[in-house]
Structure 1
Amino acid sequence: MQNLMLLVQDPAAWVALVTLVVMEIVLGIDNLIFISILTNKLPPENREKARKIGIGLALVMRLGLLGTVAWIVQLTTPVFELFGQGFSWKDIILIAGGLFLVWKATKEIHHSVDPVDHKEDMVSGKVATSFASAIGQILLLDLVFSIDSIITAVGMTPHVPIMVIAVIAAVTVMLVAATPLANFIERNPTIVMLALAFLLMIGTTLIAEGMGFHVPKGYVYAAMAFSALVEVLNMFSRNARKRSQGGSGTDTVH
């Protein structure tokens, strides 16, 4: 209790908390995009439940991992060497998660580009996904993103209470934003392809990180933000053309 009061009175602790909350929210974008795309393939009545379960599992997993910080830190210790490059359990997990994301995004892009090859898997124009399969895939990516997030947090502050508050705040934001984001993606088909491209890039980045090639996340998120801005401008342009065509049609009738 005394240590907690000292943290509350420490300005550096507040700065670390704000920085960590922002970082956790940004890192959570990857997870949120994946959850949104995956749950949109479920029947409408199951989507909200799957999102809540997926994000709830992310919270439980991250809080559980915070209780084993000493063990998490040890995951960065190399366990074997290949071609002169040391690989730790963290590297192995990042590579496995990256390969899964690349495979999943490529598969979904293929379904979107050439749905004729998958008629037997289609339900109302969407590739069918079972509830259990969706939760399992969300859980797998939760593990990858959680370990990466916790290791990053440990590098920023040694205080577990600050990490706990940051994780809870970030997951709360994810919970609030999940349904609006999923609905937005559902209403705009072109956004789906953009989001899948994001997942492909994130998966490639995870593989590179696991192989020992550091990719500054600022570059990745800047590229994502720029692409999203271009798509937003395209949406405004399409809506403006539709309004213009509608107005022209009305004028012709009169």
Structure 2
Amino acid sequence: MTENHSTEDSGLQESFLSHLFELRDRIIKAGLAVIVVFACLVYWAPDIFHLFAQPLLNALPAGGKMIVTDVTGSFFVPMKVTMLAAFMIALPVVMYQLWAFIAPGLYMHERKLILPLVVSSYTLFIVGMAFAYFLVFPTVFKFMASYNAPLGAEMSTDIDNYLSFAMTSFLAFGITFEVPVVVVVLVRMGMVTLAKLKEIRPYVIVGAFIIAAVVTPPDVLSQLLLAIPMIVLYEIGLLAARLYAPKDKEDQTSSTSDSSI
């Protein structure tokens, strides 16, 4: 008995260590993918930052410029932006490594569900960032710049502050655009019924405006630009969840018997 227990314990330990080694290898491969893309982009770091800052630069008055208040800011901020771009480009590789690690432990029907969820999550996150960059940033910056002229103030934003604002906005809108995926997963896993999600719709609307007020700048326009898409995406998630909602066998049986009667 003792020998059997020791054999089982050693087998479990070896299995645990093999999973740790595999996880390490997957993380290394994902990190290398980001580093390789970053190395390919680093030469164009100033150009990438200029493209990154274009929405604000377009909103500045004639002759307006961004400023640097930190000695190393002019070097490290473009590097951070380039690293962000490298991570987004290499994200499919990172997701594939994650998928390859967890796939052996999943059932076949779970594999069929996760792959489209991963693809849709990545796509929606990119769409959310693009929505912030092409629509929200120009609208908000022009709106804020219009208040400077009457005050006689000059709009000069530090590049590090702009990076923090843009990163927060990208994260907020990227996560917001994941709402349909979250709704589908909740319904598909049976955590919440589709009827319940429809029932709490008023609370979701209120919550969307509260979240928008917390994560966006203190102006009504930017809050609306986040809250309204969140509500629309929730409705899209409800429509998509109909395709993945688990069917109740008892309901099907009862409906069949009723129709036969």
Calculate the TM-score normalised by the size of structure 1.
0.30
Point out which structure has higher relative CO (alpha carbons under 8 A, 6+ apart): 1
When Rg is computed on C-alpha atoms for both structures, the one with the higher figure is 2
Would you tell me which structure has more strand in proportion to its own residues? 1
Calculate the TM-score normalised by the size of structure 2.
0.29
